[in-house]
Structure 1
Amino acid sequence: MRTSLIILMASSGLGGMHLLGRGAVTGLQPASGSLFFALALYSLTLTLLLLLFTRVRQVLAERDQLKELAYRDSLTSLFNKNGMDHFWEHCKPNEQLAVLYLDLNRFKSINDKLGHHVGDLLLQAVGGTLKQFSSKGKRHIFRIGGDEFVIIAKRCGRKEAEQLALRILEKTTRNYQLERYELFVSASIGITISQGRIDSARLLKEADSAMYHAKQLGSGRYAVHKQGIVIQPVNVLGSSRAN
């Protein structure tokens, strides 16, 4: 209501100035009082327009901030589950996607033995590493809970997805310096590729299942889901170390 009133007042002021200006052009010179009133109205109009513009910018900024808070994980700044739901809602029905489901090995043990603070530091470190693999409009990274991350790559086939998984494993399977602790942590990744119409629940279930199969072989490995499970061992630097 307030915004509508401001727009109405601004429009009336500009309309009045237009009529007075047209009268001056046609030789109907306004009296000095009318000219003063027109200038005052014009100044008020500019002020109101400036206030309106400022308010619109403020509202848009607040909306973007709320959207950011709703769609971002507060710990890692990656997209959260709400962000993933938003992605699925706006995804093209038959778009080719590769879904990579990543889980950290022995994360629960770290949390239980060293405390949640150290666990949070590890998640932040891993989240920071994963950010380098995001690509606007092509790859999206989500933390969907605990130590579980999902990478969704658009227009990505199996070979490219496996190469991406390998690069991610090489970057995330390493020693982490977390305050006074130096911990070797590895990850496991499950991969699935969309076939035909997008079914988000099925894709996540397939990728999650493939990830658990990868864990059965040890650390630093990925598995690809394709008409069942195909296990693909990966030689990642340090992956043979005890976990």
Structure 2
Amino acid sequence: MDNSFKFNPYEALKSILEITSYYIGDEFIKHTAIEIKKLFHADLVYITKAIDFNPTTKVQILYSTNDKVPNIIDLNGIPGKFVFDNKIIKIKEHVKYNFLDLLDEKFESFYGIPITDGKNICVGHIAIYSKLIRELPDEINDIALIYSRKIEREIRRIELEKENQLIRNQLQELTITDTLTSLYNRRYFAKVCSDVFAQVNRDSTKATLAYIDIDNFKSINDIFGHEGGDEVLKYFAEILLENTRKGLDFVFRLGGEEFCVISIDNSLESANEHMNRIMNITLDKFSLTRFGKITLSIGIVEFNKGFSSYEEILSLADKKMYQAKKSGKNTIVK
């Protein structure tokens, strides 16, 4: 049986370029693999990116036409390894590798195309498997290499987009995070408090706001200096994070030695118990440090539909916190 390809390689390149021209990034990689599978009459196609270099021993699958192919492939002992010598590899005999056992299929030919960057370094490869022994026309080699360079550009586009997204995420963190304690900052507090206020007014959600002030903080700065004061703030922030519920409690540093905890699905009594625990833990932990006894004054308010705005809730919590200070500090007013 003649299993050679019966199509014009240049027309094939034109066809695949036209079809994939509508896509970029991950979608381009996906549709490229799908179209190569069709054009080469293949049974499995995947496109990879090198994980390590000099030599490349492992690759990450960017897209595979069979989802049973593992996300990471070890190249040792398989022909794909030799593709990373910048060579097109053709094998016309029974192809058997460990990871192919997962597919429960037998392949009789392999065609590997290097994906090279601008410095002619192999950064990935296209792997094409067939259940039939294929005789490939020589012209396909040049066509495949030309197209592989376009794939490399899309891989770079994907990597650049990931880097840009990471930068965007970091910038977003900077806009909502207090630089000293890594807690949420006052700007983000306004958004969360507003959102919770709206949620409480829409349905029967319960929520509380605890306004916390570290007692005698000026004396701490006077005795230990501002570096010591910063150390106290950071350690207290850690205590708050360790003793709040992820996803339900939002912890903020409002400025100076003032902190706030907004708790979702929480009653006034539960918030009071929670803040009592925070006070006791703070006292115990700081007693073991050079700073000695650290106490807190706390005002707690429960969100309800009687308030006209979230600012009103914050103002009341602030007043209750100052009442706690006037009552001798180291106490809670609710």
TM tier relative to shorter chain: 0.7 to 0.9
The code of the aligned residue for 1:85 comes to A
Query: Which of 66, 84, 92 is the matching residue for 2:171?
Result: 66
Contact preservation (8 Å) 1:17, 1:42 = no
Unaligned runs of 5+ in 2: 1-20, 42-134
The code of the aligned residue for 1:7 comes to I
The code of the aligned residue for 1:64 comes to N
In the other structure, the counterpart of 1:7 is: 24
Aligned-pair distance for 1:157? Answer: 0.8
Query: Which of 300, 313, 319 is the matching residue for 1:203?
Result: 313
- Choose between structure 1 and 2 for higher RCO, CA contacts under 8 A separated by at least 6 residues: 1
Contact preservation (8 Å) 2:208, 2:300 = yes
Deviates more, 1:102-111 or 1:35-44: 35-44
Instruction: State the secondary structure of the residue aligned to 1:87.
Output: helix
**Superposed counterparts of 1:3-152, under 5 Å:** 7=24, 10=28, 17=36, 20-21=39-40, 32-33=138-139, 35-88=140-193, 90-91=195-196, 92-94=198-200, 95-152=205-262
Contact preservation (8 Å) 1:13, 1:41 = no
**Matched-pair identity in %:** 26
Deviates more, 1:199-208 or 1:11-20: 11-20
Aligned-pair distance for 1:37? Answer: 3.9
Query: Which of 296, 303, 316 is the matching residue for 1:194?
Result: 303
Aligned-pair distance for 1:102? Answer: 0.3
Aligned-pair distance for 1:65? Answer: 1.2
Aligned-pair distance for 1:173? Answer: 2.9
| Cα separation, partners in 2 of 1:15 and 1:167, compared to 1, 3 Å | closer
Instruction: State the secondary structure of the residue aligned to 1:183.
Output: coil
In the other structure, the counterpart of 1:213 is: 323
Superposed CA RMSD: 3.2
Instruction: State the secondary structure of the residue aligned to 1:196.
Output: coil
C-alpha distance after superposition, 1:74-130 (max 9, x if no partner): 211111112313423544532421000000111112223432111111111211111
Distance (Å, rounded) in 2 between the aligned partners of 1:32 and 1:203: 76
In the other structure, the counterpart of 2:276 is: 166
Contact preservation (8 Å) 2:194, 2:310 = no
Aligned-pair distance for 1:134? Answer: 2.7
Aligned-pair distance for 1:213? Answer: 0.8
The code of the aligned residue for 1:192 comes to V
Contact preservation (8 Å) 1:93, 1:197 = no
Deviates more, 1:168-177 or 1:182-191: 168-177
Structure with more of its chain in helix, by fraction: 1
Distance (Å, rounded) in 1 between the aligned partners of 2:194 and 2:168: 19
| Cα separation, partners in 2 of 1:54 and 1:202, compared to 1, 3 Å | same
Bigger Rg over Cα: 2
Contact preservation (8 Å) 2:193, 2:262 = no
| Cα separation, partners in 2 of 1:40 and 1:207, compared to 1, 3 Å | same
Instruction: State the secondary structure of the residue aligned to 1:190.
Output: strand
TM-score, structure 1 normalization: 0.75
TM-score, structure 2 normalization: 0.56
In the other structure, the counterpart of 1:222 is: 332
Q: How many aligned residue pairs are there?
A: 214
